[in-house]
């Protein structure tokens, strides 16, 4: 029988769960004060569990508004009747940046301050963290395990696994053990973090195959890649290759301010809607999938999660340059090596 078939009470599955937690602890450098849970429901379920577990109705809870996903997290806290305030927002420039660490000012009474560490839709990412005295919670669904992690910065961090550490079905939650003591009684068992903590993430049948894939990914990160510092260097190089190319052309534009640019999701635009449609069709033909921007904002987006290689990024840049060369009369591709397309300066 495979991991998909054996009982979730079998020693093999108990080992799988415990070792997935252990691998997470090692990679993230967690101490004994940190609890690791493997849950279902994605980041979206966390949006309601966090206010339910860590604040009562009417309690102050602060959020950093960085766009699409941040607003979803805020909506859930408001719907639950918590007193939500914005600790910072980048709405003034259409979310083309993330607020500077120093500008993030939650109310001192806030139970927590929540932010989305990497914003997949807008292509922004926090590269500096605020130190506000208020416990910080991060949705790291799209960048946990993509770079080194500082356990001391966070009261809680969580990530669904399908971006950087596996397939859909599991959500990894890291939180301070002392926080569990503050959870109010009376929550439904499945919605109370203490239930999953007490049962070592085996209160009910876990999604065993998805956990197994994450277990494999964590081993790959640890032993093949060499840990999160090495992974972070690879991801910086991948993103650097792409941003450097985009910044070298006038054909493509990256709307995100340089200091806030995401290493995971590189957002860019083309000169016109017609060219965008042609670009996406040509990319698809070239085997470059998923380059359409999020349906809420359009444009283009290249996602460079852990599984994407430097070679793939190089291939993408080659494609971008060839496409630009074909659609700018008199401006052959910058990277073109064809004899009839001599390289020439940008904006020539």
Residues binding a copy of itself (CB under 8 A)? 1, 4-9, 40-45, 47-48, 52, 72, 75-76, 79-80, 160, 162, 167-169, 186-191, 203-210, 213, 289-290, 295
Provide, rounded to whole angstroms, the least separation between the CB of residue 50 and a copy of itself: 11
Provide, rounded to whole angstroms, the least separation between the CB of residue 205 and a copy of itself: 5
Q: Buried b vs exposed e over 237-252: b needs ≥16 C-beta within 10 Å?
A: ebbebbbebbebbebb
Of 160, 192, 172, 156, whose CA–CA distance to 52 is shortest?
Answer: 192
Token pair listed for 174: 């890291």
The torsion of the CA quartet 254, 260, 262, 267, rounded to 10 degrees, works out to -20
Provide, rounded to whole angstroms, the least separation between the CB of residue 126 and a copy of itself: 22
Provide, rounded to whole angstroms, the least separation between the CB of residue 176 and a copy of itself: 23
Q: 30 or 190: whose CB is closer to a copy of itself?
A: 190
Active site residue 154: no
Provide, rounded to whole angstroms, the least separation between the CB of residue 129 and a copy of itself: 26
Using CA atoms, how far apart are residues 239 and 236, in angstroms rounded to an integer? 5
Q: 293 or 333: whose CB is closer to a copy of itself?
A: 293
Query: Which long-range contacts link 93-97 to residues 24+ away (Cβ below 8 Å)?
Result: 93/257, 95/66, 95/67, 95/68, 95/119, 95/122, 95/124, 96/122, 96/124, 96/255, 96/256, 96/257, 96/260, 97/124, 97/256, 97/257, 97/259, 97/260
Q: 90 or 208: whose CB is closer to a copy of itself?
A: 208
Provide, rounded to whole angstroms, the least separation between the CB of residue 161 and a copy of itself: 10
Q: 207 or 325: whose CB is closer to a copy of itself?
A: 207
Active site residue 69: yes
Of 35, 115, 32, 28, whose CA–CA distance to 71 is shortest?
Answer: 115
Q: Give the active site residue among 65, 69, 154, 179.
A: 69
Q: Give the active site residue among 139, 143, 192, 321.
A: 139
Query: Which long-range contacts link 230-233 to residues 24+ away (Cβ below 8 Å)?
Result: 231/145, 231/146, 231/147, 231/306, 232/146, 232/147, 232/148
Other Cβ atoms less than 10 A from the Cβ of 254: the count is 20
Provide, rounded to whole angstroms, the least separation between the CB of residue 328 and a copy of itself: 30
Q: Give the active site residue among 62, 65, 143, 163.
A: 163
At a CB cut-off of 8 Å and minimum separation 6, what does 294 contact?
Answer: 68, 120, 121, 301
Q: 85 or 187: whose CB is closer to a copy of itself?
A: 187
Sheet holding 83-89, edge to edge: 34-39, 171-176, 156-160, 136-139, 113-116, 60-65, 83-89
Q: 169 or 232: whose CB is closer to a copy of itself?
A: 169
Q: 101 or 216: whose CB is closer to a copy of itself?
A: 216
Active site residue 179: no
Active site residues: 69, 139, 163
């Amino acid at each position: 029988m495979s991991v998909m078939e054996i009982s979730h009470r079998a020693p093999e599955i108990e080992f799988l769960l415990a070792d997935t937690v252990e691998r997470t602890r090692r990679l993230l450098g967690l101490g004994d004060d940190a609890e690791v849970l493997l849950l279902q429901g994605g980041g979206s379920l966390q949006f309601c569990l966090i206010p339910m577990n860590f604040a009562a109705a009417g309690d102050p809870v602060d959020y950093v508004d960085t766009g699409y996903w941040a607003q979803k997290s805020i909506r859930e806290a408001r719907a639950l009747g918590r007193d939500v305030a914005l600790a910072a927002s980048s709405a003034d420039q259409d979310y083309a940046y993330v607020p500077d660490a120093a500008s993030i000012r939650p109310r001192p009474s806030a139970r927590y301050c929540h932010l989305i560490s990497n914003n997949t839709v807008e292509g922004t990412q926090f590269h500096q963290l605020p130190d506000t005295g208020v416990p910080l919670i991060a949705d790291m669904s799209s960048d946990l395990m993509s770079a080194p992690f500082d356990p001391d910065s966070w009261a809680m961090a969580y990530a669904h696994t399908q971006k950087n550490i596996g397939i859909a079905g599991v959500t990894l939650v890291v939180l301070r053990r002392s926080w569990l003591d503050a959870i109010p009684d009376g929550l439904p068992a499945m919605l109370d973090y203490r239930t999953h903590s007490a049962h070592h993430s085996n209160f009910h049948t876990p999604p065993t195959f998805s956990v197994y894939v994450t277990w494999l990914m964590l081993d790959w990160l640890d032993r093949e890649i060499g840990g999160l510092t090495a992974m972070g260097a690879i991801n910086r190089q991948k993103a650097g290759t792409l941003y450097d190319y985009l910044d070298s052309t006038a054909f493509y534009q990256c709307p995100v301010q340089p200091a806030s640019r995401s290493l995971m999701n590189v957002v860019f635009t083309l000169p016109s809607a017609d060219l965008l449609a042609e670009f996406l069709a040509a990319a698809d033909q070239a085997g470059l999938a998923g380059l359409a921007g999020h349906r809420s904002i359009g444009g283009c987006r290249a996602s460079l999660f852990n599984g994407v290689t430097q070679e793939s990024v190089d291939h993408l840049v080659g494609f971008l340059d060839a496409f630009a060369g074909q659609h700018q009369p008199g401006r052959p591709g910058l990277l073109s090596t064809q004899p009839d397309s001599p390289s020439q300066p940008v904006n020539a």
